[in-house]
Amino acid sequence: MKKALYLAAFLAIVSGLAGGILAGVYQLTAPIISEQATIAVKANLQKIFPTATEYKVVTFTDDTKLITDVYEAVGAGYAYKVTVTGYKDVITFIVGISNDAKIVGFDVLSINDTPGIGQRVGTEEFSKGVIGKGSTDAISTLSGATISSTAVVKGINAAKAHFNALKKITDTGSSTADPVVTVTLGSAIKLFDTITTTPVGEVTNKVVEGDITTYTVSSKGYAVLESEHDSNPKPNIIIVKIDTVKKQIVSVTFSEFHDTKNVGDKANTDTFLKQYAGLSTADTAISVDTVSGATFTSVSVNRAVRAAIESK
């Protein structure tokens, strides 16, 4: 019993001493540290609002819990320090919104995501889509760096929401814009090639209007043929218009698209679909270039067109 009391007392004394020392060091250094912190933040704010001379810390409430600090550059605008969770680690950045509701500065302070992928949000590639936007405009994410850029866009949106509430601006736009889709055409595939033989498209409707015949074709795309995630996959529905007198394809358009968003829908663009216009229906050697990364959907369109040509 005596031993236990002695041990407890010894540990208590050691801890007490440690606490005392720490309190002393803290008292000594706290004012100097807070001074240093303001100097460091001011350097960042100066970059965003070069004309402002006075900065104030703003007290704020933020339901998203993403904003860590808000500063007012008196007479110029507001700067938000935001911390969001990226792909691997947190991403800390500063975004500045000027008093005329324009984003004037965006600077990533720390990022630890994958080099060449997530770290793209720290480069000009991303910041050029942020700076200059209004406080109600949607910000585009980066295609290929979705997780990191979506996180950052969420953080910017939190800053925008705080600014808009402060300035009583109503935000009607959507919060996240769709990523900028770049369509690259890959290898050419002949419409009457073996790859399009099975499974065939199925003509479900046919409307004749003078020279133009409009076919509605159901064609199995990625969702039906490959996807294991979709519990109730549906084929793509494609409208094919053919001029039966000139024997030419007039147009090919999607009526219903059921493949992967942001992947297969690269085939649902003018870049790809325009290739069909003017192709001869009598020539079996006609071909179109498939969309790189959306081959399945591209081929499903090929099958639909072929089914339409063969059904007449």
Closest CA to 110 of 59, 44, 58, 61: 44
Torsion of CA 58, 64, 66, 67, to 10 degrees: -10
Give the C-alpha distances (Å, rounded to integers) separating 222 from 119, 234, 260, 261, 295: 31, 9, 8, 11, 9
How near is the Cβ of 90 to other proteins at its closest, in Å? Answer: 12
Q: How far is the CB of 111 from other proteins (least distance, A)?
A: 14
**Contacts to other proteins by CB under 8 A:** 6-7, 10-11, 14-15, 18, 21-22, 25-26, 28-29, 32-33, 36, 39-40, 115-116
Q: What is the three-class DSSP state of 159?
A: helix
Residue among 23 and 57 whose Cβ is closer to other proteins = 23
Question: Which is closer to other proteins, CB of 7 or CB of 180?
Answer: 7
Minimum CB–partner distance for residue 108 and other proteins (Å): 16
The CB-of-86 to other proteins minimum distance in angstroms stands at: 15
User: What's CA 144's distance to the chain center, in Å?
Assistant: 8
Among residues 302, 241, 306, 247, the alpha carbon closest in space to that of 272 is found at 302
- By DSSP bridging, strand 202-209 and strand 176-177 are unpaired
In this complex, which beta carbon is closest to other proteins, that of residue 1 or of residue 32? 32
**Cβ 123 to other proteins shortest distance, Å:** 16
Kindly provide the b/e burial profile for residues 218-241, where b requires at least 16 CB atoms within 10 angstroms of the residue's own CB: bbbbbbbeebeeeeebebbbbbbb
Rounded (5°) CA angle 297-298-303: 95
Closest approach, Cβ 147 to other proteins, in A, equals: 17
**CB closer to other proteins, 4 vs 282:** 4
Q: Nearest approach, Cβ of 33 to other proteins (angstroms)?
A: 5
Q: Residue 305 and residue 213: Cα distance in Å, rounded?
A: 12
Residue 256 is inside which H or E element, if any? strand 248-256
Judged by beta carbon, residue 89 or residue 211, the one nearer other proteins is: 89
Which CB atom, from 10 or from 60, has the smaller least distance to other proteins? 10
Beta bridge partners of 218: 202, 237
Nearer to other proteins, 39 or 245 (CB): 39
